[in-house]
């Protein structure tokens, strides 16, 4: 139990230092707010190399699930899911229903861990499940206003 509390405190400490970004709402229901190194992805960049991978994202979600599953029954109910929301800005607005794919009132580890990272979906232009600094720079260049008429698509 003390390990879980330590993990929670560590995650909460790092997450509280991150800023909140609005992200891309065009994809439908918002699951998480995981964005660039200045606003959250550094938390799950396990080796701190500035390259954000799908494996690192899934590992981060796996640890969060373990932390939140207080009774160790292999799924999260809505009260346990509140622990996920309290871990920091990445999940402050996370929707229980988004993760509960079969709408049975509980979120299994696979329902939680297998959700893709919106950050990776947004920046991984070559589909290799890795976001590099160059991809983030290119994406930010693509989103600059053109002629003052909004974002360039």
Contacts of 24 (CB under 8 A, 6+ apart): 118, 122
DSSP letter string, 45-90: -TT-SS-EEHHHHHHHHHHHHHHH-TT-SSEE-HHHHHHHHTT-TT
Q: In what helix (H) or strand (E) does residue 152 lie, and over which residues does it extend?
A: none
**What are the tens digits of pLDDT across the range 85-139?**
998 767 889 999 999 999 999 999 999 999 999 989 999 999 999 999 999 998 8
The pLDDT of residue 90: 77
The pLDDT of residue 84: 93
Whether pLDDT at 1 is above 50:
no
The pLDDT of residue 140: 80
Q: What's the predicted TM-score (pTM) here?
A: 0.65
Whether pLDDT at 40 is above 80:
no
The pLDDT of residue 4: 38
Distance CA 19, CA 97 (A): 25
The pLDDT of residue 6: 40
The pLDDT of residue 126: 93
Neighbour-count burial for 81-119, b at 16+ CB within 10 Å, e otherwise: bebbeebbbbbeebebeebbeeeeebbbeebbbebebbb
């Amino acid at each position: 139990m003390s390990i879980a509390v330590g993990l929670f405190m560590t995650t909460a400490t790092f997450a509280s230092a991150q800023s909140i970004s609005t992200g891309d709402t065009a994809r439908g229901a918002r699951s998480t707010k995981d964005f660039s190194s200045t606003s959250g992805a550094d938390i799950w960049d396990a080796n701190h190399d500035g390259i954000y991978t799908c494996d690192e994202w899934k590992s981060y979600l796996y640890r969060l699930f373990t932390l939140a599953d207080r009774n160790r029954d292999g799924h999260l109910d809505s009260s346990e899911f509140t622990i996920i929301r309290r871990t920091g800005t990445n999940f402050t607005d996370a929707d229980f229903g988004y993760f509960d794919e079969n709408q049975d009132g509980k979120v299994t580890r696979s329902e939680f861990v297998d959700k893709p990272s919106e950050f990776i979906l947004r920046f991984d232009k070559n589909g290799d499940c890795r976001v590099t600094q160059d991809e983030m720079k290119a994406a930010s260049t693509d989103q600059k206003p053109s002629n003052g008429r909004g974002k360039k698509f």
